Every structure is written in structure tokens, then in C-alpha cells.
A and B are shown apart, each in its own frame.
Chain A
């Protein structure tokens, strides 16, 4: 059965600002991911927490649950255990996944249920109007442009989501960008197809509370990671080139250390083999 975008949209009008990166994610999900994989809408469940991106379930006509700040990943796992045939997607922001909900992530990785977490990283608490988040670039006051517009600069170093995910050994780790929906669509398809816990970071502009220079810089510096191609790391040389291999967790760790502000990498960082079955724990 062919499904069109219209099949996956509800009649609810998004609350997001004009130009918000979340529109890119919404259309990727409703135009590409669900129809592309032929997932009937009743077989999908989208769970979110609280934040701008977490408003998304109301706009997608699958089963959906816009739940509590930081807790979406717990609800998603419960549903997946109860109904393994569901395609379960968790959506949240940087604050949602990596501040208030950070404690749940390593355990979700450990359980390795077949669910896909999409972290919409816009570097700021936008729903509450511009406070710093764990991913707001850390700079001293007056040092540069990468500060949220309204409030104080972050005093703590940022928490790097990719390093965190790699270090906890999430079985699929990727990063995309909201402005390249073609690649994002492919990454999400790979993530959903992967049998196991998948984590996808989506670099997303916040047009209201990020200084424009922040996302402009990311977009300019972004480079694509492709399997089999040489990665540009200092350790790599023409004589002994380092070739990207998503099965290599050591390489993934090294790549995750590359600073997002210096060289944002887009692609599949890591893809472990032999994830758990659909049934996950209940199979045991």
C-alpha cells in the first residue's frame, strides 16, 4: 500500500517558529521515513518528552505520546517490550535527552531494545526562551558569537552527545543535519532498520534563540562521513590512510572526539552487529 505524506500528518498546526529546523525533521519523518519504509501508521509509535521538538507527536498521525521532560525513552521501552511489532521512535531535544533525562540513556543502551532515539540538538532551551543547555558551546563572555542571545553564557563545558553515546556503546550512532533532509532521511531509515538501540543526533538551527553565526558555522564546516572513504584526522596520512569503518568502535570514539564547532561530522559513526531481537528482553 502506498502511503503519502498526507497519511502521516494530523490536522494540528505546529507551534514552531518560521524557519525552525524541526520542520525539516517533521517532513523527513512524514514524507520519507514512514512511507519509505512502508510502515503503516498504526504500527508506529512516536514518544517524546518536553521541549520544542517534543511537540512533534501531535503533528504525526501515528500513535504518539508527548510525555514528560526527560522520560520519553522509558515509556518507549515499555511499549516496545509490550508490543515488539511496533516501530518505536523517541524524539527529544538536547536538554531533554542530555540534561534531565541523561540518567536513562545508558540503561536504554544496556537493554538494547530495538528503538530509535532522535536527539534534536539546537544548542539551547528554546521552549523556555533561551537558557543555556548542556550542549550550548562553552565560551567565555565576550569571547565569541556562540552564545544564546538572552542569558548568561554557560559556565560548564558542554556535554558531547556523540562521545557519550559511543562511550556507553549504543549499538547505532549517527549524526545528521536538519537542513539536509535527504541524508537525514537515509540516516533515520538506517537507524530504524538497525536491530537494536539507535541514537541519531540531528544538528538543528534555533532561529529565535541561537545567534545565526552558530548554525552558519556548523553548516559551513560540516563534512560527510562515508563508509570506505578516508577520514581527515591528524593520525591519517597518505601513506597510512584511516578509512571510515562504522563497525570500528575505536574509530567511532576517535571521531566523536572531533569538536563539533571545528568539524561537525555527518554520517553513521558506529553500527554494531548483532543487536537484540525485536522482542529484546522478553525473548530472554
Chain B
């Protein structure tokens, strides 16, 4: 089923169609119930509708395990292989099709029933543009089709006597070939673009694709890659590479972030540049590894003992994952700080087909503030400066030796056990990040700026909130604010809140972590509502239409 979805997405991308595909899978190691939900769009990436226009089903028993993710509507066209169990009422336009038999006739085995189904769906969608055969011949991702052109054609001939008017796609507005990738790939590629040359990881769902992409690409760039023994070692390796001058990072999910926490404190205390990407899944503890939740925000902002300032960012779409990694690595270097980027399973593992402009854009890169030369002999690694950022030498540089420590330390980096130095260094570490509050560009505001009704949301929830507002036609009634820099909080967020008299906060965690974080920093309108719930199922337009309509009213 995943192959069917991926091939269709790629074929459509060659014709210029945008798309979004999400995979649903259970706890099984291999096999089990799997579903993909794919939406194709002629104008821009939109989220799949709550119910599909076309449903292909190979196995009704498996379908019933995932039916909440792909519910049937009366107008859904259903193409299925085996008769449904009694009691399941199918929509009017349902067709039993023997995909396996068609595959057997074409190749002698039923292994290619998904290609048969693809042929049929392709015809229904009218996806027969001139580029299809070129795509099949040249795109590595379509090699399965290259070997099975006859099977694909056999599929196209099925149900020949029926008319499926209304399912044909409108022509793609912009015919350029779209790039297909998921958030995890975008994270890795963005990091490499920003100059990351050291990655250390440990396998964990749903973040492993980032590690795999780095493992694939870093050696060719003379970079350093190690799959370590655990996430504690991962952070140690990354900090070691960073003090020796490489732009270093790691990626993990909640349980790994737990193990990294002791060295999050060290990175903050010793002011070592570091980026951690947390592809969030349902917690606490092992939780639901394969499903998204936005519940690591508290940990990202506050996790660890003592007070260890760090930067927390959250992309909300796939191109944003790429752009934000460039930002994160730049900020880590410029401010000599830990940056935690919060993605999630939905964003990380959902494939989109999009314009590749974000890959081609020019990105200015930042480097460490360097010692100027006059320090030789008395280099002070933690020198108090006007902007609280000290020039940083890296291990191996002549004349600039210094000693780092997780102990409280003075300007030289030497251990210090007095209140005054402790206070001074806390002030340094907090104050150096304050200019980030002016980074209004890292806050996106959508809709009519002058209206007094607002929604604040973050991370992948923003996509479905924006989609719901559009779906309800409320763009002029309510504006939406999505900060991608969450901590420290850009001033623009407070200005947004102040400009509203009625506010809704939407996020996918049980306790409303973002809402509470905001409330701790600013007064919010008396009419502020929170829509928050645990992860495990995606938000849908239908689910959010109640609270969104309410705030716009």
C-alpha cells in the first residue's frame, strides 16, 4: 500500500502536482495494517480531506484497524479486492476488482497488484500526461514501474465499461516537476546546507530517517558520522566535535531527549554550539512511537536541573524543516548555544511534493565569533562583552588554549565557587539570547492583521489550523500566528496577543504546554480558549471547525 501511494505521488509530482502523503502504521515490525492517505493538488500543498475521493482497499480486515484515519464518505469511490465483511456498508460507487488476477495474467504472480491498482487510479485521475513515460524511464524512485510497464497498462484497462466523471484532476497550475521529500529528509538536507559536518545518532522512531540520510551523505562531504551506543554518548560525541570546530548536531525523539538532558545542561553552561532535533512522538515513557504529539515543549524549554538557557524552535511544514535547520545551526554558532528543534512524527514522516525553490534559495551562513588575535597570552574564553557573546577558539588553535567545565567558572573558564561569578555567568548566558526576541521574521502571521480575533498555534498543528480557517472561509474573520522561534519568545507574539480581544490556542498535548508557557509571560485576553488534547490521531478540519468558528464569531 505504501508503494502504491509513493509511486502515485511521484508520478503526479512529475506532472507538476503538489501532494501530501501520510503513512499510518501500527506496532507490527513488518506487515500489519498499513494505510496511506494521499492528497493531490493543482495549486499548492493542501492536507488530505477528512474522507477520501478514492479508496483502494486490498484487505477489509486490515482496513477496519485504520478506518478512523481514512473514513468512508457516501461519495467515496471504493476499489476493493475482496468482499467486505457483512455489516460494513459500502458507498454506492464501490467496485470489486481482482487486482491479483490482473497481476497474475500480466506477470504470473500476484506480487504486483499494487501496480495494477496504480494503473487504474492513474486512469481515473486522468494522470496520463506526456511526462509519465519519461518519469518512469528516468526517476530512480519509479524503477518498480520501469520493470512493470505491462502491469501498469493492464491496470489502466480495468473497469473499462464504467464512467468515472468528476475524478479527473484539473491541470497542474505550474507544470514544473515537484520535489518529493519528508520532514526528516528536509531536516538533514537543511543541516548539511548550513554546514553541519558532524552528526551522531542512535536509532529511534520516528527520527531515524534523519540519521540515515546523514549516514548516506556526510561521508561524501568529508564529514563525521557515528551511530553511537546510546543517546548519552551521542551528545558527548557531538559536543566533542563542536569544541573541535565542526558544526555538530543530532536528532532523536522523546526517550532519547531524556538521555541527552544532562549534556543539554553542559552545552548551555560551557556555551558549546549544538543542535538537537526532536521528532516528537506520543509520550510519556515509550508512549506511542509511531504517532505524533506536541508534548516535549516543556522538556525542550525547561528540561534539566539548574537554569540552562537554550533556544527552542519548531517548523510547521516540510520546506520549513529545511529553512529552520539553517536558522538553528546559524543561531547555535552565532550565540554559542544549544538549539532544540521540535518536529514531530507527522511532519517528519509525511511525504510532500512541493516546489524546490527552498532548496535553491540563497542562505547566509553564520560562523563563530572569533578571537581577534590581541588576546594571545591572556585569552579569556568567557570574556564579558557588550553582547555577552565571547570570542570562541576551538581546540587545536595556537595561542588560545583554555579549559572548559560544567562547574561554575570565571572568564578564563576556571572553576569559581563564589556567588558573584555565578550570578554574572547566569546573566551572561541569559542575556546573550535576548536579541533573538527581535527576530520577528521567525513568526508567521496569516490573515487579516486588523481583526481582533486570533489563533496562536505551533508546529505541525499550524497546518491543519490554517487549512480549517480556509475551509471555513474565515480568513477575514480570524488571523493566525505561528511562531517558529518559541524560546526565547519573539516580541511579535506578544504584539499579536495584544492586538486580539478573543484568542484561541491550539496544540496537540494534554495539558496545554504552549498555552501555559505564553500565560507565564504575558497577559492574555479574558476570552482566551485552549484547544489541546493528547496525540494519537491527527487533528481534522471537522474537529477544529468548532473551536475555530467559535473564536471567529
Contact = CB atoms under 8 A, between A and B. Distances in A.
A151 to B, nearest CB: 25
Contacts of A85: 396
B434 to A, nearest CB: 27
A10 B403 CA distance: 10
B398 A281 contact: no
A82 B414 contact: no
A79 B397 contact: no
Interface string B70-113: 00000000000000000000000000000000000000000000
A211 interface: no
A74 B395 contact: no
Interface in B405-428: 405-407, 413-415
B239 A64 contact: no
A68 B406 contact: yes
A42 B240 contact: no
B399 A65 contact: no
Interface in A10-68: 10, 12, 40-43, 45, 47, 55, 57-58, 60-68
A82 B403 contact: no
Given A40-B398, A78-B237, A65 B230 contact: no
A139 to B, nearest CB: 33
Given A12-B415, A68-B266, A75-B236, A82 B405 contact: no
B130 interface: no
B215 to A, nearest CB: 12
Contacts of A47: 240
Contacts, number: 144
Chain A contact-residue range equals 35 or more
Chain B contact-residue range equals 35 or more
Contacts of A41: 401
Interface stretch (B57-65, B152-160, B243-251): B243-251
A75 B414 contact: no
A103 interface: yes
Given A85-B396, A103-B230, A78 B244 contact: yes
B25 interface: no
A74 to B, nearest CB: 3
B240 A57 contact: no
A80 interface: yes
Contact of A58 (B270, B394, B396, B415): B415
A66 B240 contact: no
Contact of A65 (B198, B233, B403): B403
Contacts of B18: none
B230 A83 contact: no
B236 A78 contact: yes
B480 interface: no
A82 B244 contact: yes
A42 B262 contact: no
B405 A103 contact: no
Contacts of A243: none
Interface string B253-277: 0000000001100100010000000
Contacts of A63: 243, 395-396, 401-403
B414 A12 contact: yes
Nearest to B399: A42
Nearest to A47: B240
A83 B244 contact: yes
A40 B399 CA distance: 10
Contacts of A281: 224-226
With most chain A CB atoms within 10 A of its CB, the pick from B244, B262, B263 is B244
Given A78-B237, A281-B225, A282-B223, 20 more contacts: A10-B403, A42-B400, A43-B396, A45-B244, A58-B403, A61-B401, A65-B270, A65-B405, A66-B406, A66-B415, A67-B404, A68-B266, A71-B236, A72-B236, A78-B236, A79-B244, A82-B242, A86-B244, A103-B229, A282-B224
22 contacts: A40-B398, A42-B398, A42-B401, A47-B240, A57-B405, A58-B414, A63-B401, A66-B404, A67-B266, A68-B263, A71-B233, A74-B236, A75-B239, A78-B238, A78-B241, A79-B395, A81-B237, A82-B198, A82-B224, A83-B245, A281-B226, A282-B224
Interface of B: 198, 200, 219, 222-226, 228-230, 232-233, 235-246, 248, 262-263, 266, 270, 394-407, 413-415
Instruction: State the 5 A-B residue pairs at the shortest beta-carbon distance, nearest first.
Output: A78-B240, A74-B236, A78-B237, A64-B403, A82-B244
Interface of A: 10, 12, 40-43, 45, 47, 55, 57-58, 60-68, 71-83, 85-86, 103-104, 107, 111, 281-282, 284
